[in-house]
Amino acid sequence: MTTNPALVESPTVELDDTSKWFGQKVAVSNVTCSFGPGVTGLLGPNGAGKTTMLRMLTGLIRPSQGSVRVLGVWPRTSPSVYAEVGLVPEEAAVYPALTAREYVRYAATLSGIADVDEATARAIDTVALGEPADRKLAGYSKGMRQRAKVAAALVSDPQVLLLDEPLNGTDPVQRLHLINLFQRLGSEGRTVIVSSHILDEVDRMSDRVIAIVDGRLAAAGDVAAIREAMSDIPYRVRIESDSTRVLAARLLEEALVHGVSVDGGILHVETGDLAALGRRVPAVAREVDARITSFQPEDASLESVFRYLVRR
Amino acid sequence: MRAAWAITTTTIRQLLGVRRLILFGLAELAPAGVLLLMTQTLAEEAALDRLLAMVAALYFPLFVPIVTLIVAASALGDERRDGTLSFLVLRPIPRSVIALSKFGGAVIVAAGLNIFGAVALTAAYGIETGSWNLVVPLVVGGAFASIVYASLFVPLGFFTDRAVLVGLVFVFIFENAVVSALNGLSSLSPWRIGMSAFTGLAPTEVAAELSEFGGASLSSFGTALFRTVLIAALSIAATTMVLRRRDLT
């Protein structure tokens, strides 16, 4: 029984005192942690080292120090393990000239799947791409591309799924669908590692969190414990609306709102409970007949939260 | 095998967009058009001189390298720039299959375009003179040169975003200036390897005529074949090694 919250009992993915530096820049510093079945959120601000960690886990880059094991091996030297590993990278990483179906089919063929057509249809169905699957990826929105990439990663039915900011660019419906999908994959016993810089996203899809700040392991454990640890740090949320000032005045009456400011027509709200604010704002907007066009946690405030975690 | 074929066919689709096909197709027709205009009033012997001038001054040193450079540098270069290379390498297939398939796709497209140019050029000559015995030699020579250029430019595209610029420097400064001045380096010149294959298969009088166009630095067909196979094998081995060892950041 391990007492270190960064380690799990039956790991499928492990980093042991792993560091990675590029010239003088340290991207990941002495990280020791492990991942097992279920959904784990890899949380940290932009530039924290999450992508570098995921790329080391897949073998795309080698660690400068320490070791990385996926299903017991270092993938770069044991490529057969890629049959059991799926990666959804943050960057575009799709072939614009292919349709989504061709793209997923290509992934299935390269993964050595026997029934390529069946696997392709199943993966496309899993991400609910439907009829647009026969359109070229060049014309896809970012959210639809994300779903195509998830389908390509899932087509080989992998045991380990690594997702780098998979919800970027998705609309609320797509986001909900993907979150439910990741949770289902985790409950089926797969190791699902989802990186995000948005705590609320991680909160909604994962049971366990590894928080990375400036390349270092800042915190690990369940989401509730980490949320508790950062409860005295307010979040800042950026809201765009057609009635900014009316909405600001009304939100100030809410107990969970610590403060508001309006800057260039953008409303900035401080709160101690991001999830509760996210649930409350639509109702408040309806009350004052305001239309919300954007609701986004601000990276800057999250960074301060992460830095707080590092200082603890 | 299925994976290799999938990568090769996808590479061909990537490299051969409609615009590129039209542009390169028209460019490859240009020497044939010029030849047709020039040879209408000439005797067969003079027409052969004109054809060989086109082959030695335009087709091999200009059209084949530029077309192959643009095509081959994109084969791995575009994958690296677009982030799709991770899509390929994170599959349970040997890196040698990826290297071989990307090379194969680039060669099929580049050689296909250059062979089209070779057929057009020798067909124009055949139409004017009734002599068709240079079609196969030029097709083979164009294919050899395409393979050797692709051997250099496929890995080059992986290493640098400025592959086209570096390739142009190689073609115009090294091959067309340095090697022209120092015949001992001709074995390192891809278009001379292609032209060696051409002269090796062409009637003997063609080789004699070509000496006027720098043909003295050419080797036999067998040597050209050996060099082509060797350079292609070294290129695939080097690309495989780089794909295994180099980080994809």
pLDDT in tens, B97-113: 999 999 999 999 999 99
In the structure, what pLDDT confidence band is assigned to residue A150 with cuts at 50, 70 and 90? very high
Residues sharing a CB contact under 8 Å with residue B213, sequence separation 6 or more, in sequence order: B52, B53, B55, B56, B57
Q: List Cβ neighbours of A203 (8 Å cut-off, separation of 6 or more).
A: A41, A223, A227, A275
Helices in chain A by DSSP H: which ranges?
50-58, 100-110, 116-126, 142-154, 172-187, 199-205, 223-229, 244-251, 274-287, 299-311
A-chain CB neighbours of B247 within 8 Å are 60-62
For residue range A255-284, what is the model confidence (pLDDT) as tens digits? 889 899 998 889 999 888 877 888 899 999
Quote the mean pLDDT of chain B.
89
Whether A148 and chain B come into contact, CB under 8 Å, resolves to no
Nearest CA in chain A to B18: A97
> Position of tokens 């196979």?
B229
pLDDT of residue A228: 65
- Best residue of B19, B79, B90, B98 to probe chain A, by most A CBs closer than 10 Å: B90
Chain A residue numbers with beta carbons less than 8 Å from the beta carbon of B92 are 79-83, 111-112
Nearest-CA distance from A36 to chain B in Å? 21
Residue in the block written with tokens 């590894």: A210
Q: pLDDT for B49-64, tens place per residue?
A: 888 888 888 899 999 9
Residue A163 has pLDDT above 80, yes or no: yes
Contact assignment for B6 to A106 by CB distance below 8 Å:
yes
pLDDT in tens, B104-153: 999 999 999 999 999 999 998 888 888 898 999 999 999 999 999 999 99
Nearest to A106 among B10, B86, B93 (CB): B10
- Best of A78, A82, A101, A110 to substitute, by most chain B Cβ atoms within 10 angstroms, is A110
Contacts of B7 in chain A (CB under 8 A): 110
pLDDT (mean) for B166-186: 83
ipTM > 0.90, yes or no: no
Is it the case that residue A129 has pLDDT exceeding 60? Answer: yes
> Is the pLDDT higher at B104 or at A214?
B104
| Beta partners for residue A73, in sequence order | A70
Between CA A217 and CA A309 the distance in angstroms is 10
Q: In chain B, pLDDT over 90 holds for what percent of residues?
A: 54
Chain B environment of A60 (Cβ under 8 Å): 86, 89-90, 247-249
Q: Measured between CA atoms, how close is A14 to chain B, in angstroms?
A: 18
> Residue A204 — pLDDT band, cuts 50, 70, 90?
confident
Among all chains, which residue has been given the structure tokens 């082509």? B228
Highest mean pLDDT among A208-212, B86-90, B195-199, B229-233: B229-233
pLDDT band at B219 (very low <50, low <70, confident <90, very high): confident
Q: How confident is the model at residue B77 (pLDDT cuts 50, 70, 90)?
A: very high
Tell me, yes or no, if A158 comes closer than 8 A to chain B by beta carbon: no
Say what the pLDDT of residue B139 is.
96
Strands A257-263 and A266-271: antiparallel
CA–CA min distance A10, chain B (Å): 24
* Res B187 pLDDT > 80: no
Q: Which residues contact A56 (CB under 8 A, 6 or more apart)?
A: A15, A18, A20, A28, A62, A63, A68
**For residues A166 and A193, is the Cβ–Cβ distance under 8 A?**
no
Helices (H) and strands (E) in chain B, counts: 12, 0
Q: Which of B7, B92, B248 sits opposite A79 (nearest CB)?
A: B92
Chain A contact present for B181, CB below 8 A: no
Sign of CA dihedral B227, B228, B233, B235: positive
* Residue in chain A lying closest to B17 (CA): A97
B97 touches chain A (CB under 8 A): no
Nearest-CA distance B90 → chain A (Å) = 6
SS (H, E, C) A119-133: HHHHHHHHCCCCHHH
Structure confidence at residue A232 as a pLDDT band (50, 70, 90) = low
Nearest to B6 among A61, A109, A152 (CB): A109
What is the average per-residue pLDDT within B194-222? 81
Residue B17 touches chain A, beta carbons under 8 Å: yes
